[in-house]
């Protein structure tokens, strides 16, 4: 059993999918988000979408870092995480403007004071103000902030995003097919709209990232930061403190807490200028590099043999945990968090659009005809089949 599973989490969320398998799949079952008829406006040419996601256990890392350093600004990054995880999923069905957002913040008041809530809410509005400068408009409708000490020991930061969009401007993934190439957009580096280097960690796999990198002292000093029923062999088994310096010049804590990159400015440009060339979009979130398998419109073989060199944060996690490549690429994005499926002749335009925003893009793979769905991934000299 993987370390990830032993900690009570699942990269593939099999039980979640089983519980929801009977729900309506929407108008386009292969689309990255569920798309429904326009119940709000009653127009057959429009659709409605609503999506919920959040920062996950990254909020526990923020809690530890705040307690260790007193830096309350770290909570603004958690606000960005909860937004980007919603926004970038909706971007993958072609929506890039006129969103509604409602936040849901649950806290244990004994451990999380009001100024933390203030930092999260302020960070939410600041992020929306920044995105509006790129023509991505999000209306903040408030939300629910509750004291739920009996349910959790620190804080949970989530949100719900909704949109109404013209049907003719949707990306449904139904055009993905043999001959397509996959352009990956890097998750690390510093985009022109980011204030600092981004490690690329995003908001997936943070339970493993925290326990694999941080030392036992965190469990001893902050028992509220983990599930006490977990075996000691999988809790805080790493060699690092949050303030230890990494080789790039920042700290381990800063690497782990890099705000989830949104690709909104890039995708707005692509969807306005190259909509017809985009056959599919995948956000490599939960499930990492295997995420694309869920949204293929047919029995295709995906070959990923040109992946990015894994950024330092993933190398540190793997060295600390001893996890094999199969688990790492299934849990983490490992270097790119957005995939654009397009024809080979259009790939250069996609890459150029990303580079205008300071984000590296490259062809990381292709789609081939096959008798069943499969993924061949090359990690260095190793070939992994999912």
Query: What is the helix (H) or strand (E) element at residue 339, kind and residue range?
Result: strand 336-342
Query: By three-state DSSP, how is residue 254 classified?
Result: helix
- Helices 206-213 + 58-69 axis angle, to 10: 40
What pLDDT score was predicted for residue 131? 98
Q: Tell me the DSSP string of 103-116.
A: EEEEE-TTTS-HHH
Query: By three-state DSSP, how is residue 351 classified?
Result: helix
List Cα–Cα distances, 171 to 29, 254, 283, 296, 301, in angstroms: 12, 35, 13, 13, 21
Reported as a single tens digit per residue, the pLDDT across 231-244 is 999 999 999 999 99
3-state helix, strand and coil shares in percent for the chain, rounded to the nearest 5: 35, 25, 40
Using CA of residue 320, residue 154, residue 12, residue 173, what is the dihedral sign?
A: negative
Q: How far is CA 3 from its chain centroid?
A: 20
Q: Where are the domains of the chain?
A: 22-202+257-385
Q: What percent of the chain has pLDDT over 90?
A: 92
DSSP state, 20?
A: H
What pLDDT score was predicted for residue 2? 61
- For the chain, which ranges sit under pLDDT 50? none
What pLDDT score was predicted for residue 24? 80
CATH superfamily, with its number, for domain 22-202+257-385: PurM-like, N-terminal domain (3.30.1330.10)
What pLDDT score was predicted for residue 371? 96
């Amino acid at each position: 059993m993987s370390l990830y599973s032993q900690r009570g989490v699942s990269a593939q969320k099999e039980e979640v999918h089983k519980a929801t398998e009977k729900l309506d799949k929407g108008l386009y079952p292969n689309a990255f988000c569920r798309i429904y008829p326009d119940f709000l406006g009653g127009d057959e040419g429009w659709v409605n979408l609503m999506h919920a996601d959040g920062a996950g256990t990254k909020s526990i890392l923020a809690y530890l870092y705040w307690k260790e350093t007193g830096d309350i600004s770290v909570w603004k990054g958690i606000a960005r995480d909860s937004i980007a995880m919603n926004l970038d999923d909706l971007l993958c069905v072609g929506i890039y403007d006129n969103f509604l957002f409602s936040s849901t913040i649950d806290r244990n008041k004994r451990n999380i004071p009001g100024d933390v809530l203030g930092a999260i809410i302020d960070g939410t509005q600041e992020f929306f103000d920044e995105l509006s400068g790129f023509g991505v408009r999000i209306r903040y409708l408030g939300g629910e902030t509750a004291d739920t000490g009996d349910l959790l020991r620190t804080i949970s930061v989530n949100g719900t995003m909704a949109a109404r969009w013209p049907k003719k401007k949707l990306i449904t993934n139904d055009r993905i097919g043999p001959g397509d190439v996959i352009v990956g957009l890097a998750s690390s580096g510093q985009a022109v709209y980011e204030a600092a280097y981004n490690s690329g960690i995003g908001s997936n796999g943070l339970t493993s990232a925290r326990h694999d990198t941080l030392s036992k002292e965190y469990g001893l000093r902050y028992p509220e930061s983990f599930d006490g029923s977990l075996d000691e062999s999988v809790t805080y088994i790493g060699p690092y403190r949050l303030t230890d310096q990494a080789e790039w010049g920042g700290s381990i804590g800063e690497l782990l807490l890099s705000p989830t990159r949104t690709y909104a400015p890039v995708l707005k440009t692509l969807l306005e200028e190259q909509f017809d060339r985009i056959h599919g979009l995948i956000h490599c979130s939960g499930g990492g590099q295997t995420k694309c398998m869920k949204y293929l419109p047919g029995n295709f073989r995906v070959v990923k043999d040109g992946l990015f060199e894994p950024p330092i944060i993933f190398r540190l996690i793997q060295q600390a945990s001893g996890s094999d490549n199969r688990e790492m690429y299934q849990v983490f994005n490992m270097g790119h968090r957005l995939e654009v499926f397009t024809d080979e002749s259009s790939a250069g335009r996609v890459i150029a659009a990303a580079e205008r925003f300071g984000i590296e893009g490259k062809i990381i793979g292709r789609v081939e005809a096959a008798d069943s769905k499969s993924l061949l991934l090359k990690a260095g000299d190793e070939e992994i089949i999912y």
